[in-house]
Structure 1
C-alpha cells in the first residue's frame, strides 16, 4: 500500500462497469468495479498505470466514479496494520487533499466497521482488497452510510 508522503503515490479511479449486473451462484447481482491506479515512483522513471478489472462494488455502495489519492493506514505503535479495524486507525492524508480513498485489507472485522472508520476520517471511498490472493472477489454486503 502507499502511505501518503512516503514511497510511490497511487491515484486510483473507480469506474462503474459498462456491463450489466451479473449474478453470483446465490443469485445475487453485482457490478464490476474497474480500478485504474497511477503509481508515481522515481525508481520507475515515470508514472505506471495499473488496471484491475476484477473488483466489485459493494451491494449497498453507490455505483459511481470516484477519484482520489489512495491512502493506507499509518502503522500503530510502529506495526503496520492494513485492516482498519483498530479504533486507533489513522490515515496520513497530505494537506489540501480534497478527495482520498482508504486502502484496507479484508479480514478481522466487518466491512461496515472498515467503511465507517474510513468515513469518520473523511475518506471519499474505500477499497478493500482480499487477504488471500487466490480468492475470487466477493460482493460486500454492508449497511454502511
Structure 2
C-alpha cells in the first residue's frame, strides 16, 4: 500500500459518525504515528501552522507548496508522490527508509482534512513552478 493510500485509509475511517475536520482523534494520531513515525507529528504541525498551499492553474495542473520548519518552500506533487526537499531524496529515494517526507505527508493530510490554503496561478506561473524555475510570488 502506498503512502497516499495509507493516509487516506487512516483518515477516512468512519468514527462514530463524527467529523474530524480540523482535528485528529487520538486513535488516528496513533495510527499515523505507527505508520509514519515522528514524520506524522511534524507533518500535522505543518498543517496546523497552515504551511500547506494547493496551487492550481486554469489548465488543471495542481501541486502543493509547503513551507518547511526551516522556512524554505518545497513543492510536492501528490499525483506522482514526490517532494523537492533533500529529506525526500535521501530518506525515501536513496535509502528507502521511509514512505515519504513530512512535507508530502502534510500535503496529503491537509488535502484529506480540507485544511490547505488555495491559490490560483496562471498557466505560465504554474509552468515555472513545475519546471523548478520559480516559487509562488507571495513567498
Do both share a fold (TM > 0.5)? Answer: no
Structure with more relative contact order (C-alpha pairs < 8 Å, separation 6 or more): 2
TM-score by length of 2: 0.27
**Higher normalized helix content (fraction of residues):** 2
